[in-house]
Amino acid sequence: MKSYSESFNKRSRLNRIPEINEHAGGILAPLDPDGLTDRLAASLMIQNDFYPCFDWTFPPPLLNKSEAPASVEALFQHPSVIPENFSLYLHSPFCKSLCNFCYYTIIPGRGVEKAERYVDYLLREMEMYADIMAGKKCESVYFGGGTPTFLDDHLLTKLFEGIHRYFNIDVDAEISIESSPGTLPREKIELLISLGVNRLSYGIQTLDEELLAGMNRHYSVTEAMQELDIALKLVGNVNVDTMYGFENESDTALLDTLTKFHEAGIPSLSIYALDRQRDNKDKALGLPPKDEAYEDKIRIFSEADGFLFRQGYRQVLQNVYAIPEKSTYRHQVRRWDNLTLIALGVAAQGYAPRTPYQNFPALKSYYRAIDEGRLPIVTVDHLSAEMELIREVSSQLRFTRIDLDAIKRKYGVDLDIVFGDLIASLIELGYLKRELNTLRMTGDAAYYNNIIPMLFAPDEFTQRLMGLPEEYLETFPVPSVMVQVGCTQSAPIEISLSE
Ligand X SMILES: C[S@@+](CC[C@H](N)C(=O)[O-])C[C@H]1O[C@@H](n2cnc3c(N)ncnc32)[C@H](O)[C@@H]1O
**Residue ranges binding ligand SF4 (CB under 6 A):** 95, 98-99, 102, 104, 106, 145-147, 180, 203
Tallying the residues shown for the chain, one arrives at 499
Smaller CB separation from ligand X, 217 or 354: 217
Residue 272 touches which of ligand X, ligand SF4, none (Cβ within 5-8 Å per kind): ligand X
Q: Bridge partners of 434?
A: 439
**CA distance linking residue 283 with residue 281, whole number of Å:** 6
Residue 133 touches which of ligand SF4, ligand X, none (Cβ within 5-8 Å per kind): none
Identity at 403, one-letter amino acid code: D
Smaller CB separation from ligand SF4, 103 or 309: 103
Provide, rounded to whole angstroms, the least separation between the CB of residue 180 and ligand X. 3
Provide, rounded to whole angstroms, the least separation between the CB of residue 114 and ligand SF4. 15
Smaller CB separation from ligand X, 142 or 351: 142
Smaller CB separation from ligand X, 31 or 106: 106
Q: Per-residue b/e over 47-82, b at no fewer than 16 CB within 10 Å?
A: bbbbbbbbebbbbbbbbbeeebbeebeebbeeebbb
Helical axes 459-466 vs 385-399, angle rounded to 10°: 80
Smaller CB separation from ligand SF4, 271 or 426: 271
SS3 label, residue 289? coil
**CA distance linking residue 391 with residue 400, whole number of Å:** 13
**CA distance linking residue 12 with residue 357, whole number of Å:** 30
Residue 144 touches which of ligand SF4, ligand X, none (Cβ within 5-8 Å per kind): ligand X
- DSSP alpha helix (H) spans, 220-268: 221-235, 253-263
Smaller CB separation from ligand X, 173 or 240: 240
In degrees and rounded to multiples of 5, residue 45 shows phi and psi of -65, -20
Smaller CB separation from ligand SF4, 16 or 96: 96
Residue 300 touches which of ligand SF4, ligand X, none (Cβ within 5-8 Å per kind): none
Q: Are 385 and 393 in contact (CB under 8 A)?
A: no
Residue 75 touches which of ligand SF4, ligand X, none (Cβ within 5-8 Å per kind): none
Provide, rounded to whole angstroms, the least separation between the CB of residue 145 and ligand SF4. 5
Provide, rounded to whole angstroms, the least separation between the CB of residue 147 and ligand SF4. 5
Residues 347, 353, 359, CA angle at the centre, nearest 5°? 10
Provide, rounded to whole angstroms, the least separation between the CB of residue 183 and ligand SF4. 8
Provide, rounded to whole angstroms, the least separation between the CB of residue 99 and ligand X. 6
Smaller CB separation from ligand SF4, 60 or 203: 203
DSSP states of 379-392 as a string? Answer: EE----HHHHHHHH
Residue 208 touches which of ligand X, ligand SF4, none (Cβ within 5-8 Å per kind): none
CB atoms within 10 A of CB 84: 9
Q: Are 103 and 144 in contact (CB under 8 A)?
A: no
Provide, rounded to whole angstroms, the least separation between the CB of residue 427 and ligand SF4. 38
Residue 275 touches which of ligand SF4, ligand X, none (Cβ within 5-8 Å per kind): ligand X
CB neighbours of 225 closer than 8 A, spacing ≥ 6?
A: 207, 260, 264
CA atoms within 13 A of residue 401's CA, in its CB half-sphere: 18
Smaller CB separation from ligand X, 212 or 432: 212
Residue 477 touches which of ligand X, ligand SF4, none (Cβ within 5-8 Å per kind): none
Residue 98 touches which of ligand SF4, ligand X, none (Cβ within 5-8 Å per kind): ligand SF4
Provide, rounded to whole angstroms, the least separation between the CB of residue 177 and ligand SF4. 13
Q: Which residue is nearest to ligand X (CB)?
A: 203
Provide, rounded to whole angstroms, the least separation between the CB of residue 453 and ligand SF4. 27
Strands 349-352 and 355-359, bridge-based pairing:
antiparallel
Provide, rounded to whole angstroms, the least separation between the CB of residue 119 and ligand X. 18
Q: Dihedral, CA atoms, 391, 393, 395, 400, nearest 10 degrees?
A: 160
Smaller CB separation from ligand X, 211 or 457: 211
Smaller CB separation from ligand X, 68 or 192: 192
DSSP states of 468-498 as a string? Answer: S-HHHHHH--HHHHHHHHGGG-------EE-
Residues 401, 405, 437, CA angle at the centre, nearest 5°? 60
Provide, rounded to whole angstroms, the least separation between the CB of residue 98 and ligand X. 10
**CA distance linking residue 29 with residue 13, whole number of Å:** 10
Residues 285, 61, 329, CA angle at the centre, nearest 5°? 120
Residue 56 touches which of ligand X, ligand SF4, none (Cβ within 5-8 Å per kind): none
**CA distance linking residue 206 with residue 272, whole number of Å:** 11
Binding site for ligand X (CB under 6 A): 95, 101-104, 144-145, 147, 178, 180, 203, 205, 241, 243, 272, 274-275
Residue 243 touches which of ligand SF4, ligand X, none (Cβ within 5-8 Å per kind): ligand X
